[in-house]
Amino acid sequence: MARFTVHGRTQQECQQALDDLRRLLDVEVTLPPTDRLGGSWIARATRKAPDHEVRGLAVR
């Protein structure tokens, strides 16, 4: 699973970065833009690995 975090000085800037990420990658928003975690705006999203993607080492 891939995790992404975007930051912004304003809510609008953070939302725009999140929208760009959603447009470029198939991600699911896990935290909409918020400023409650500190001084700046932050948002988070995740993308699950495709089922056919090999993860780790193959052992035979």
* pLDDT given at position 57: 63
Burial of 53 (0-12, 13-18, 19+ CB in 10 A): exposed
* pLDDT given at position 54: 57
Q: Are 44 and 30 in contact (CB under 8 A)?
A: yes
At 30, list the tokens: 């896990």
The pLDDT tens digits for 3-48 are 999 999 999 999 999 999 999 998 999 999 999 977 899 999 999 7
CB count in 10 Å sphere of residue 33: 21
The contacts of residue 28 (CB under 8 Å, 6+ apart) are 45, 46, 47, 48
Q: For strand 2-8 and strand 28-34, is the pairing parallel, antiparallel, or unpaired? A: unpaired
